[in-house]
Structures are given as C-alpha cells and as structure tokens.
Amino acid sequence: MVTWAHKIVPHTCMPGVDQRKMPEDCLNANLDRNKTIEMNIRTCCRSLHLLLTLILYYPATAQFAGVQYVNSDSLRIVRGYSHAVIFPELGIVKTSGLIGTDKTGKLINSSPREQIRQTFTNLRNVIEAAGSTIDAIDEIETFLTDSAYFKDYVLERIEFFKGRREPPISKTYYIKGLINPLAVVEMNVTATLPARARTGKKLLYITAILEAKEGAADKLEELLANNILPSRNEKGCLQYDLYRGGKEGNTFILQEQWTDKEAFDLHFRMPYMKELSKNIKELVKSSTINTMEKVER
C-alpha cells in the first residue's frame, strides 16, 4: 500500500487579511478548499497505487514465454475473454470469473444451490481443459450476492474438494450484484500444473525447423498457421508458436511445449495434423525436429 504524508496549509481569502479575523464565510471557503485538496491527494494516492500495480504485475505476466489462453468445450466461448490462462514458466493456471451457466450460456436458475453447484462444475471443466485438476487448485475466490447463500456455498465447496488432504485457501465476498442480475455467485480459481508441480513429469519442449521449397513458403505458412489455434486448445499444450525468417523467408520454426510425451503423441493423431502431414511433404525441402526435456536440479 502506498502512503503519502501530507499537510493541508490554510489559505487566506485575500492577501494581508488576518487569519484570526477572517469572516465566517471566508473561513468556510478555506475549509472547503482544504477538503478539495485533501480529496485530490487521496485520489492521487489511489491512482499511484493502481499505476504501481499495473507496472509490477502486468509486465511480469507478459514476460513469461508461452502464455497460453484456454477455452473449455463444455462452456460457451464468449468474445472478449478466455476461460483460463496458463503461465508455463510459473506452472500455474488462472481462470476467469465463472457463473452457473450451461454449455449454451444459459444460466441455471432452478435454485441458488443448483447454480452454485453448476459453477463448481464449470470450474472443474475449465481447469481440466487447461491440463490441471481439482487436486491442484491452490486458491478459490468467490463472490456471493447475498449472505443467505453462504451455507449452500460452503456445503457445495466441501463436496467439491472432498477427498483432498487439505483444502485450498479461500476468499469469499458479499457483493451487491453481478452483470447477470439472476446470477447469485461467481468464482475463479488458481491452480498448479500437475505435470510440473504434482506428478513429477517433465515438460516436453519441441523445436521444429522447416525449410520451404522455392516458391512454396507462403503456402507452407498458410498450412502451418491454420493449426496454431487448434493445437493451442489441445489438452496438454502449453505453447505453440510459429516463426518465419531466413534470408529468403523460407525458414519456419515451431516452438512447442507439452505437459508430457503422451500429450505430444496425441497431438499427431488429431485430424488436422494428419491432414497437414499429407499436404506438407510437397512444400518442404528439409525438416528437423528436436525433442527436449528441461534439466532441473
């Protein structure tokens, strides 16, 4: 928290006027002015705090390689935000705020408890789509629109984390309302990536270097680029980036990260990868694929 020490200095209404003999209306005007100055300083403090938060947090998240945005097939994909984000270098997953909607985006409104239960189900589906699990959830943050729903929320939370040795840390708030006026709860969670933090499996790093035949670079780029988004949405994919360069622009590099070898092997069994394999041969002059695991001590 930023603390800014300040002192409000009284001002006279007119130069040369004795402060002790000022009329009451002049004194009140000075008090109002002092309050305005104090409010402006407080506003500056809040703005400075927000600015420091942006400086310290957002550049830090942007610098990590392979930041991956994930959407779950079990939820409606909304334009404007993703269901979750993966930070491979940190080994964590963070979800957006989720409410109790079904696959079509319709809110479950049969009862507050059913809506809370559906929200937990949505959290499970999003976390699993990101390659994590309920057991890897470290923190849950919840917003309830009424304290009357707290008991149902606690009962559903206990059921959701049943079987864990220790529950995650938790923050719960009461708020006036959500964007959807019929929603009674919104939740988000932070979880670790099991491949790094729990199962002991080593992340798989792939570097593929492709050299296009003369005149075939643009077509090759089109085919490779079409597979970027489907590949990134695969369970177990942490990074899938395509680069083009070289003297003639004929060299392509694919940088990939996968949670484990099983996920990478499954990647090549996807229909779009099979289709790429059939069409790419006539476009590529040479190719090299390097598969590596990170060495840790």
Asked if residue 12 belongs to a domain, the reply is: no
What gap in Å lies between CA 91 and CA 61, rounded to an integer?
Answer: 12
Q: Tell which of 182, 197, 212 closes a domain.
A: 197
Q: Is the pLDDT of residue 177 over 70?
A: yes
Q: What average pLDDT score do residues 245-252 get?
A: 91
Q: Among residues 180, 230, 200, which one has the least CA distance to residue 293?
A: 200
Instruction: Please check whether residues 246 and 286 belong to one and the same domain.
Output: yes
Whether the model clears a pTM of 0.85, i.e. scores above it, the answer is no
Give, for 296, the enclosing helix (H) or strand (E). Answer: none
Instruction: Please check whether residues 131 and 192 belong to one and the same domain.
Output: yes
Q: Is the pLDDT of residue 30 over 60?
A: no
* pLDDT at position 261: 84
Counting the structural domains of the chain, the total is 3
* pLDDT at position 156: 97
Copy the structure tokens of residue 30: 């000075």
Q: Tell which of 197, 212, 241 closes a domain.
A: 197
Largest Cα separation within the chain, whole Å, is: 95
Q: In DSSP terms, which residues pair with 288 in a beta bridge?
A: 209
Copy the structure tokens of residue 125: 């589906």
Question: What backbone torsions phi and psi does residue 135 show, to the nearest 5 degrees?
Answer: -65, -20
Give tens-digit pLDDT for 226-238.
Answer: 999 999 988 788 8
Instruction: Please check whether residues 79 and 160 belong to one and the same domain.
Output: yes
Give tens-digit pLDDT for 117-136.
Answer: 999 999 999 999 988 999 99
CATH of the domain at 73: 3.30.1330.40
Asked if residue 1 belongs to a domain, the reply is: no
Q: Is the pLDDT of residue 280 over 80?
A: yes
CATH of the domain at 283: 3.30.70.100
| Structural domain harbouring 263 | 204-292
Contacts with 186 (C-beta within 8 Å, 6 or more apart), sequence order: 97, 98, 99, 119, 142, 143, 178
* pLDDT at position 131: 86
Counted residue by residue, the chain has a size of 297
Instruction: Please check whether residues 261 and 225 belong to one and the same domain.
Output: yes
Instruction: Please check whether residues 170 and 222 belong to one and the same domain.
Output: no
Q: Is the pLDDT of residue 175 over 60?
A: yes
* pLDDT at position 206: 93
